[in-house]
Amino acid sequence: MNRNSFRAARKTVDVSVGESVRIIRELQELSQNSLSELTGIPQSTISAIENDRVKLGVERAKVIARALRVHPAVLVFPGWDVESETAA
């Protein structure tokens, strides 16, 4: 079977900023308490971020991204389609 016989996958799920934080945290097998210890951000605030009750914000995004070892854009722009969208 050659490459041309496959269809490109379609995006079927939108992920919020909070959900992206939760997913990445869980993939790294960290609890909210562990992430709180790594970041100095209260566990209650992490919970509120993950449930989209509190905005992540640039500074918190940097701190959480550093603790999760990802680029902050991964958290702030979870639905960004690099191939079809431009930053300008």
**pLDDT tens figures, 3-33:** 567 676 666 668 899 999 999 999 999 999 9
pLDDT of residue 83: 60
For domain 17-76, give the fold: 434 Repressor (Amino-terminal Domain) (1.10.260)
Residue 47, both tokens: 């919970």
SS3 of residue 10 by DSSP: coil
The answer to whether the pTM exceeds 0.85 is no
More confident residue, 72 or 82: 72
* Type and span of the H or E element at 69: none
Each residue of 46-71: pLDDT tens digit?
A: 999 999 999 999 999 999 999 999 99
Of 33, 25, 27, 17, nearest in space to 67 by CA:
25
For 24, which DSSP code?
Answer: H
Assess whether pLDDT exceeds 60 at residue 76. Answer: yes
Within 13 Å, how many C-alpha atoms sit on residue 21's CB side? 29
Domain residue extents for the chain: 17-76
* Type and span of the H or E element at 66: helix 58-68
pLDDT of residue 46: 97
